[in-house]
């Protein structure tokens, strides 16, 4: 398996968390689980294999260009054949710079990104397939994203405001903090919650919980601390609280995850 994470250029760093490249090391099929990350992402499938994701009781083949909305519960996926993926992750709020309307409509969904962003994305996909060099591929995507970003200039101030709240709430969520932020910016708590949900896809409290869970997932993948220590380091009241919330987002206990996590999930947890 090959996994590479690539930082975006300076202009896009406030909007794109990272690019990443994944290449499977065999044609074998396997099942896996994707967990909530607090971010949205777009994935270009560049190999001959297929990805399938579970919706309801059935698995469906993912489109060639996948738009992942906010995932708030464990999502089962299947890989078949030789897969090559080039993707990029937004920050919690920054997908809103590139999509019109409420991003929450994509929650717990994987949709065809070209249906949302238009046919120019299919043209980009074709160019990526014709371009063998990884850095050149990333450059093509960056040029596309910068053009989309310029087209959304009218909404930048409001989205930037939500971004400031995102950074604050990552480690400082409480009802009192929401009230304090509302007073500071002379808006109602209801409007602040609505604005946050509109541009991140998540209500503030759920965003904080997912961010705390992701922090614990990263610590578990490093295998350097005991689970009790990880629970307190991640901001949980006690280990019982940690186990309950971890199981909500993964379907398994922290101890079971540490023993059974797939190589891909270990890599993604550490990224």
Map tokens 């250029």 to a residue: 9
CB-based contacts of 232: which residues, under 8 Å, 6+ apart?
none
CATH at residue 20:
2.60.120.10
CB-based contacts of 246: which residues, under 8 Å, 6+ apart?
213, 216, 252, 253, 254, 257
Per-residue pLDDT band for 72 (boundaries 50, 70, 90) equals very high
Q: 169 pLDDT exceeds 80?
A: yes
Q: Is residue 42 a contact partner of residue 68, using CB atoms and an 8 Å limit?
A: yes
Identify the helix (H) or strand (E) that includes residue 68.
Answer: strand 65-68
Residue 154 token pair: 């009218």
Question: 164 in a domain, yes or no?
Answer: no
Question: 268 in a domain, yes or no?
Answer: no
Closest CA to 88 of 118, 124, 115, 53: 124
Question: 217 in a domain, yes or no?
Answer: no
Q: 61 pLDDT exceeds 60?
A: yes
CB-based contacts of 143: which residues, under 8 Å, 6+ apart?
none
Q: Is residue 1 a contact partner of residue 32, using CB atoms and an 8 Å limit?
A: no
Question: 232 in a domain, yes or no?
Answer: no
- Strands 30-34 and 16-23, by their bridges, are unpaired
Question: 195 in a domain, yes or no?
Answer: no
Please give the average per-residue pLDDT across 93-97, as a whole number. 95
Please give the residue range of the domain that contains residue 79.
2-153
Residue 253 token pair: 């206990």
CA angle in degrees (0–180, nearest 5) for 199-220-62: 50
Whole-structure pTM value: 0.87
Question: 73 in a domain, yes or no?
Answer: yes
Q: Look over the chain and give the mean of its residue pLDDT values, rounded to a whole number.
A: 91
Question: 207 in a domain, yes or no?
Answer: no
pLDDT in tens, 206-265: 999 999 999 999 899 888 889 889 999 898 989 999 999 999 999 999 989 888 766 555
Residue 140 token pair: 């093509």
pLDDT in tens, 78-88: 998 999 999 99
Q: 266 pLDDT exceeds 70?
A: no
Strand order of the β-sheet with 110-112 is 2-6, 16-23, 84-90, 41-45, 65-68, 110-112
Map tokens 């046919």 to a residue: 119
CB-based contacts of 92: which residues, under 8 Å, 6+ apart?
38, 39, 166, 200, 202, 207
Question: What total number of domains does the chain contain?
Answer: 1
Question: 237 in a domain, yes or no?
Answer: no
């Amino acid at each position: 398996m090959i996994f590479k994470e690539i930082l975006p250029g300076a202009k896009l760093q406030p909007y794109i968390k990272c690019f990443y490249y994944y290449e499977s090391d065999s044609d074998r099929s396997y099942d896996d689980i994707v967990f909530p990350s607090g971010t949205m992402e777009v994935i270009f499938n560049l190999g001959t294999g297929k990805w399938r994701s579970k919706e309801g009781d059935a698995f469906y083949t993912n489109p060639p260009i996948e738009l992942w909305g906010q995932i708030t519960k464990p999502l089962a996926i299947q890989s078949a054949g030789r897969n090559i993926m080039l993707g990029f992750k937004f920050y919690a709020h920054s997908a809103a710079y590139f999509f019109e309307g409420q991003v929450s409509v994509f929650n717990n969904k994987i949709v065809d990104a070209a249906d949302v962003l238009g046919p120019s994305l299919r043209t980009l996909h074709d160019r990526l397939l014709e371009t063998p060099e990884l850095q050149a591929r990333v450059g093509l995507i960056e040029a596309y994203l910068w053009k989309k970003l310029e087209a959304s200039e009218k909404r930048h101030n409001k989205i930037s405001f939500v971004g400031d709240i995102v950074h604050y709430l990552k480690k400082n969520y409480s009802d009192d903090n929401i009230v304090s932020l509302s007073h500071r910016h002379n808006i109602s708590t209801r409007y602040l919650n609505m604005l946050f949900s509109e541009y991140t896809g998540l209500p503030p409290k759920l965003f904080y919980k997912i961010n705390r869970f992701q922090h614990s997932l990263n610590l578990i993948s490093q295998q350097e601390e005991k689970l009790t220590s990880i629970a307190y380091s991640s901001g949980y009241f006690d280990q019982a609280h940690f186990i309950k919330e971890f199981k909500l987002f993964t379907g398994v206990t922290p101890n079971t995850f540490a023993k059974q996590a797939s190589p891909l999930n270990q890599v993604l947890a550490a990224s």
